[in-house]
Amino acid sequence: MITFIDLFAGIGGFRLAFESVGAKCVFSAEIDKHACATYKANFGDDPYCDVSQLDPMDMPDFDILCAGFPCQPFSIAGERKGFSDTRGTLFFDIKRIIRAKQPKAFILENVKGLTSHDKGNTLKVILETLTKKLDYKVFYKVLNSADYGVPQNRERIYIIGFRDKSIEFEFPPPLEKRVDLNTILDSDLRGSQISQTAKFNVINNLKNHKKFNEIKDNPLLLAYEIRKSRATFRYDSLAPTLTAKMGTGGNNVPVLVNQMRKLTTRECLRIQGFPDSFWIKPNKAQSYKQIGNSVSVPVVVGLAKGITQLLKI
pLDDT value of position 76: 46
Residues of the chain with pLDDT > 70: what percent? 75
What distance in Å separates the CA atoms of residue 213 and residue 64, rounded to the nearest whole number? Answer: 51
Q: Which of 27-41, 232-246, 255-269 has the lowest mean pLDDT?
A: 232-246
CA nearest neighbour of 25 among 49, 52, 56, 4: 4
Q: What is the pLDDT of residue 235?
A: 43
- In sequence order, what are the residues at sequence separation of 6 or more whose Cβ sits closer than 8 angstroms to the Cβ of residue 17? 295, 297, 298, 300, 301, 303, 304
The rounded percent of the chain whose pLDDT value lies above 90 is 56
Cβ contact 233:240 at 8 Å: no
Q: Which residue has the higher pLDDT, 121 or 131?
A: 131
- Is the pLDDT at 256 greater than 90? The verdict is no
pLDDT band at 195 (very low <50, low <70, confident <90, very high): very low
Q: How does the average pLDDT of the chain come out, rounded? A: 84
Q: How many residues are there in the chain?
A: 313
CA quadruple 82, 84, 87, 92: dihedral, nearest 10:
90
Lowest mean pLDDT among 52-66, 98-112, 113-127, 219-233: 219-233
Whether the pLDDT of residue 71 is over 60: the answer is no
Instruction: Look up the pTM and report it.
Output: 0.86
pLDDT of res. 122 = 83
Mean pLDDT value of segment 150-168: 95
Name the pLDDT band for 72 (thresholds 50, 70, 90): low
Quote the pLDDT of residue 209. Answer: 65
The tens digit of pLDDT for each residue in 275-311 reads: 999 999 988 889 999 999 999 999 999 999 999 999 9
Residue 39 pLDDT greater than 90, yes or no: yes
pLDDT at 215 over 80: no
**Closest CA relative to residue 256, chosen from 151, 156, 150:** 151
CB–CB of 301/211 below 8 Å? Answer: no
Catalytic site includes residue 71: yes
Point out the catalytic residue in the list 25, 36, 66, 71.
Answer: 71
SS3 41: helix
Query: Region 207-217: what's the mean pLDDT?
Result: 65
The answer to whether the CB of 97 falls within 8 A of the CB of 58 is no
Q: Which residues share a beta bridge with 5?
A: 27, 65
pLDDT at 229 over 60: no
Residue 172 pLDDT grade (very low, low, confident, very high; cuts 50, 70, 90)? very high
Show the domains of the chain with their CATH numbers.
3-177+295-312 (3.40.50.150), 181-292 (3.90.120)
Q: Which of 134-143, 222-231, 234-243 has the highest mean pLDDT?
A: 134-143
Confidence of residue 25 (pLDDT cuts 50, 70, 90): very high
Q: What confidence score (pLDDT) does residue 79 get?
A: 52
- What pLDDT does 85 receive? 47
Place 230 in a pLDDT band, splitting at 50, 70 and 90.
very low
